[in-house]
Every structure is written in structure tokens, then in C-alpha cells.
Structure 1
């Protein structure tokens, strides 16, 4: 290679670096490695001429372009004829305020419309349209046309986020024929979805997420009838679902999440291979069926604790992690001592709202012989007051014959000076030979004693929302009835209110 050629090559590389992506993404690195020459122009015999595009095939240019982010791909298309050509087939069409910038509603709409009209509709893999942070865009006249351009055979990911007050119905016909057969991910927010019998088969759909989507239980069943490959199903705040059935033919479904569907009254699961189930609801009849593979269960429900203890060991025998939040539990109802066991349960978190006989949880701990961590959170309203602790330690209830040999870590948040809580704590200390750490938090569980410091301004106080008087009583109860029973092998952590901002007033 002659000296003149070396100079020309250095000039080309310097010029190319000027149009490289400034954020240092891997796509720009790939371009630099695969193509040392400028895609726009070439030099020959000391003369500049237009780049012919023969050094790399069109497929390679399109692949390189697809590796860029949408913003970088648009920039590259502005300076390169090769990339301008592939821009019409760019596979990842993502339109949100982060990508497009903070535009006015009309500017956002017109820019998206201009980009899509110039796109050929060929090769689209991802289409994401996020109008949630805009005001009230005129999507009625644009949405259907945009989806017709983007949703074509080969699309894999479709996301549509609309404003909360925008009454938009998703045009299901765009998924007909073969358009929907390649979709693997579908996420809709704030719209109506009314599937019909002629809806295309979503046989490759693996993840479905509806948030604030108006769809009935029957319509959901119609949709799920074609989703034989579904692996993850998430429904959040869908206001029209009253009855929900997860059919048995969803053999690949491993993750199910149903949150805050306020009109839901019955949920019946027949899918056999669910691994994780997350549910939040109120006064809902839940039937998990024989979920033999269920490992992780997260439930927020009405008076659910008794059902968990008595029924779940039979339907979900292989459960390993359990987190439940139950409210309005019967105050004086002692949990029955059932012989059923959670033979694989290792981690339990219980969140009880209101007063309760917490000592009855001893039978729950006994039902999990492999339990390693136990996290109890208590929320007491002003009208729910537990039985107060007596000064006579002999009145503390005890229960013999229960040993928790694997239990290592226990935390009780919002610890109150209630008799049943002190009894439960003392029982754990006495019957847990492997216990390593006990944490009793007398604050609202948001106060970090290790990091929260007094403000330099003496007029301010540390962030502490629980009642200081109740917290101080709890600290005194811990010192009087619990601290002396802690073995030397157990680390006791007591989270107290800040002594400067909340001095003892007893």
C-alpha cells in the first residue's frame, strides 16, 4: 500500500469517526470493525467519488443498522445513503418521550406519522408506541394506520401505552391472518381489547401483559384459546373481569400475575406447570388446583391466612417461598393444628393488617420443618389494639413440643408490646437451635437506624412515622421480657426511634 493510499485511508477513518455514535454503543463499534471505509464516499487515485455500496452487501448494512438504538439509527440514516436505504426496513420502531424527546402532543404525533409513512413495513420486529405521558393525542385518526404499517408477518414484540383518560379500542383485525402468528410479546395499557372468533392465532405468544385493559372474562378465555405457547400472563387493574379461568392447555404457563382487578370474584387455575403466582385482590375465591410445580406464591387477600395454613399444603406441596398479606383476620381465631406440612418451604413473609393472635403462628412455623427465614410485618390501626402485656412473666403463654431446627433469621417489623407478639418471639428463641439473627423493628419499617441521622437543623426531625409512644413501650417490653432470653449465639437487632428527635416520654 502506497503512502498516498495510507493518507486516504486515515482521512476516511477520521471522517467516519465524526459520524460515529457519540454514546459509545456497541453498534458503532461493529460498524468500525466491519467497514473501515466510509459508507458514503470512496477515494480512488486521489479523487473523491460516491460510495458504490459494493464492499458490503445490503443485508450486512441492514443487520448493522438493526443493532443501533432507534435514535442512533435515525442519526446514521441522516449521514449515510446505505443506512438511509435500510432505515425503511429498520426492525425496532420505538416511539416514546425518551426516544423522541419531550415534544408537544401534535409534534409527537406528526413525527411518528412521518417516520411510519416512510417505512416500508417490511422487517419490523419490535413496535412500541407510548402516548402515556402525552395529553390527549388524536390517535383515532392515526392508530389503525400505524398498526397496519408496523404489525406485519414477522413482528415479535408489540407494546401500546395510551393515556389514562383516552377511550381507545385496540383494532383486533390487525392481528388477523398471519400478522399475529409471529408475536411473542404483547403489552397493552389503557385500552379496550375485544377479540373475535376470526382473531388470528397467537400460537407463538409467550408473554401477555394487560394493564387497565377493558376485557371480560369470556373475552380473555377466547384470547387464551389460541395462546398455546404462553409462558407469562400478567393482568393488572382490568376493570371488567369478574370471573377468570386459566385453562389446562396452557402447559407452558409458568408465571401468573393478577393484581387489583377490583370486580374479580373468582379465579380458577387449571394450568399444571405454574412456577410463580402473584395475586392481589379483595374477597376473591381463589382455586389454585393441583399446582405441583408452584414454588413461589405471593398473595394479598381478605382473610387468607387460615386458608393458606389448612388448604395450600395439599394443592401446592412443593412451595418454597411464600409471601402473604391478609387483612380483617378474625382477632380471636387460633390457627388449627393441622397435620399437613409444607415440606419444601424455606422462606415465609406474613403481613397482617390489624390485631391478631400472633402466637397461633407457632403452628404455621411447625408446618414448615425446613423454614430458614421468617419475616412478620404488623399493621395496627387506631381501633385495633392487641392484648396488652402484663408485668407478670408467668402469664406468658408457652407451647411445648415444637422445634424449628432450620430457622436462621427472623424479623418482626412494627413490633408492638402486645402479649401475643412477645409470646411468639420468646417461643422462637427457645425452640430454634439454629437461629442466627433476630430483628425487632419498633418503627414503621421505613426508618433505617444505621443511615437515618438527625438533621443539622434542630427544628427538623428524623423520618419516623410510627407513634413514638407505642415504639418506646415496645422497646421497654423487649428489654424486660425478651433480651434476657436471647442466647449468646443469636444476634439481636432492635430498631428504636431516634433518641434525640423522639425522647422517652413515659
Structure 2
């Protein structure tokens, strides 16, 4: 009986513990459900509330005016002008645009009547913009349109306006897109307008198909860094102008008539690049200690570049006919142009119109197809210095005797040669026999001089 009573008590105790545990679990589940419902209600309440607004919003019109102008200056002039319809406050903002670039070259045609209509429209557009402009300082002012001397009044007014706004860059191209040269006299560009302000301001001047009347007393060019003259008629002293350009870094004179004597006494120590092409001049003489790149195209002329110890690249293109005065252009390039003797890269281009060797790194030949089968002995000027020559590339090669003599002369004197390449004439490679002949000659010559010659098409 005693054991039975103890068992009943134990069962009652376990039952009580089980009930208590179930009660705790139910209470915990209820609490969790209530918590989830609370969070859900709070989330729904937040979702129904409007999002908080920022303390302030910034629009374009809220920015300082100078920042607005800077933003508009990044747009082309036409797009900047269109912003005037966006806001009443912007109607005058575009009139401070720093870049007034008028390009009507794509609208031009060969029909004379059509050109008159488009020319009148172009002039009307430029006049309207110039009249509305605020007169703020300009970064660039450019005109690209085929305008004749009859439009001088408009051009004078535009250039004087650009000068009054102290435009740093001025680009006047009255013969764009390589169209047929306009008939009639060139417009006379008023250089004096650039010196009529308080002080010098022009930094880049690009002129095409105009006339100039420079003189030694001209002012306003001491800040000029870039001067490009293309198809310009020079009725004055170009040397006088250049002698006033002490800050010049880039000079290009292309197809200009009237620059008879290019001897400049001023030391242009900042000049880095100089191109003189198709200019009928008697001599070229510059003091250019910092020059790194020189290009010349024309007939053989005395060229003196004083103090250019930093020269890295020289390109010489001699016009056909210069052989009549100096038949050894190799000797001419090295002996009569001492400034280029230590240059790193030298390109000499010439038409071989006579049976004389011409040293070149890139040659183009227009003579007929024909081979010379003799043994080249390397006719070459003994005064030539090739002790630094490392790379030679000869194009238009077709085993023409002067070519073969020239290359053999280079191979014989070029002790430091590392790479020799001949590029076959496109008119000869059409025949497999011709190409095979060239490759056989190259192989034989390579063995003869102990230097590999690479043949490419």
C-alpha cells in the first residue's frame, strides 16, 4: 500500500510539471504572436505615412551665376542658345558663352546661287550672335566658311569684336573643306586689331586663305604660343612679326606666298614644333634651342637651326626638280643641315627622277617597272656619318639601280644597324616573278653584308 501511494504522488507531480511546461510554451507563443503583430502594425503605419522631404532642393537657377555660365560653356554654342527657352532667368545667360565657333563648311555647295543664299544666312547668324553677346572674355572665336573679300566689312567687325573680348584663340578659315580656291583677292586680316587692347591676349592664331601685312613694329603677340598660316599671302615683313613672338611654341607655314626670307634673329627658345611646307623662300634661319620636331617640304634650300640640341624628329620632303641644283640629297641632308646630324628619327622623301642614290627612310616612287641586274657597289658619299644609324625603312622598292646602290651604301657604312626593311612597290608585287626577284636580291645582299634585310609587301 505504501508503494502504491508513492507511485500516485509521483504521477501527480509529473502531471503538474507537464501542465506548467505547456502553459509556459503557450504563453511564449502568444507573446511572439503579439510582438509580430506589433511590428506589422508599425510597418503598415510607416508605409502609409508620406516620405520626409529634404530640408531644401537645389535647381540650376539656384546656383551662382558664374557656375551656371561654366556649365553652359560646356555645351556647343547652338545648344547653349536653346537653353534660353527653358527658363526666363536663362534668356541672357547664354550670351556670356566663351566659345563662339561658327562652322558653315558643311552647308557649302558648288552652285553659285546657292552659295550666295547660304552665305547671306551665315553672315546674318554671326551678326545676330555677336550683337547679342555680352562682351565677356572669350576663350575661342572661329569662322569656317567660304567668304570672299566682298564680306570684308562683316569680317572686320567680327574680328574687332573678338579682339575687344580678348579671345585667346582665333581661327579664321575662309577656305574650308579643301574646296576649289575661291576666285578673287584674299581678305586682308587686320593684325593691328590684336594689338589695340590694354595688353597682349592672343595665344593661338590660325589663319587660312587670307592676306597679311605684318611689320616689325606690330604689337600684341608676346603671348602667342601657336601660329598656323595656311595659304596666306604675305604682303609685308613676316620676319618682323615672328621677331615679336617670344613665347611661340608651335609654328606652321604652309603654302604661303611672300615669305621670301625666313631669317629670324629673335631666339625662339620655347619653340617645340616647326613646319615649313611649299613656301618659296630663299633661306631658313632660326635660333631654336628647344626645338624637338622639324618638318620641311620644298626644294633644297639652306636651312640653319641654331642650338637645337633637343631635336628628336626631322621630316624632309624634297620636291621633284631639286636634283638639278643638288643631286646628292643624302649629303645635303647631313652635311648642309648640320643641326639634324644627331636627330633620333630622320625621314627624307624624294622623287628619284635621275639615276642618283638618295638616302631615305620612306620613299615613294612613281617610275615604271624595271630591274637592274648588275652588282651594286654602294655609291655613297664618303662624308656621310651613319655611325648612329639603327633602323632603315625603304618603301617603293623595285630593284631600281639607285635604290640598290643606296641601300648597299648604307649597309656598308651602317655599323650599328639593327633593322633593315624594304617595302616592295605595289606595282611590282602584282607579278610573282618580280617579288621573287626582289626577295632573292635581298637574301643575296644580306649574306654579302652580314645584315638581315626584311622584305614586306
Alignment TM-score > 0.5, same fold = yes
Partner of 1:306: 331
Q: 2:312 aligns with which of 283, 291, 295?
A: 295
Which residue of structure 2 aligns with residue 160 of structure 1? 172
The one of 276, 280, 289 aligned to 1:272? 289
Residue aligning to 2:104: 97
CA distance in structure 1 between the aligned counterparts of 2:259 and 2:81, rounded to whole angstroms: 42
Structure 2 counterparts to residues 452-471 of structure 1, below 5 A? 466=427
Q: What secondary structure is seen at the aligned counterpart in 1 of 2:171?
A: strand
Aligned partner of 1:85 in structure 2 is 92
Q: Which residue of 1 aligns with 2:76?
A: 69
Runs (5+) with no aligned partner, structure 1 = 10-35, 40-52, 328-351, 362-373, 445-465, 496-506
Superposed displacement of residue 282, structure 1: 1.9
TM-score after normalising by structure 2: 0.70
* Pairing of 1:1-16 with structure 2 (within 5 A): 3=50
**Which whole-Å CA distance do the structure 1 matches of 2:238 and 2:168 have between them?**
21
TM-superposed deviation, 1:6: 5.4
SS at match of 2:78: helix
Q: Which residue of 1 aligns with 2:154?
A: 142
Following superposition, the deviation at residue 178 of structure 1 comes to: 2.3
Structure (1/2) with the larger helix percentage: 2
Equivalents in 2 of 1:115, 1:121: separation in Å? Answer: 11
Cα distance in 1 for partners of 2:216, 2:422 equals 57
Partner SS state of residue 288, structure 2: coil
**Aligned pair in 2 of structure 1 residues 322, 113: CA closer, same or farther (>3 Å)?**
same
Cα distance in 2 for partners of 1:145, 1:117 equals: 10
Bigger drift between 230-239 and 424-433 goes to 424-433
**Unmatched segments (≥5 aa) in structure 2:** 1-48, 110-116, 176-180
* 2:360 paired with 1:381: no
Change (3 A) 1:429 1:269: closer
Could you state the TM-score of these two structures normalised by the residue count of structure 1? 0.64
1:104 partner SS? helix
1:111-122 map, 5 Å? 111-122=125-136
Contact 2:350 2:363 in 1 (8 A): no
Cα distance, 1:229 vs structure 2: 0.9
Match of 1:240 among 239, 254, 258: 258
| Structure 2 partner of 1:416 | 398
Segment of structure 1 superposing worse, 139-148 or 99-108: 99-108
Greater gyration radius = 2
Spell out the pairing of 1:310-325 with structure 2 (5 A cutoff).
310-313=335-338, 315-325=339-349
Q: Which residue in the other structure is 1:229 paired with?
A: 247
SS of residue in 1 equivalent to 2:91: helix
| Contact 1:158–1:187 (CA under 8 A) maintained in structure 2 | yes
Q: CA deviation at 1:316?
A: 3.8
Distance in 1 between residues matched to 2:194 and 2:206, nearest whole Å: 14
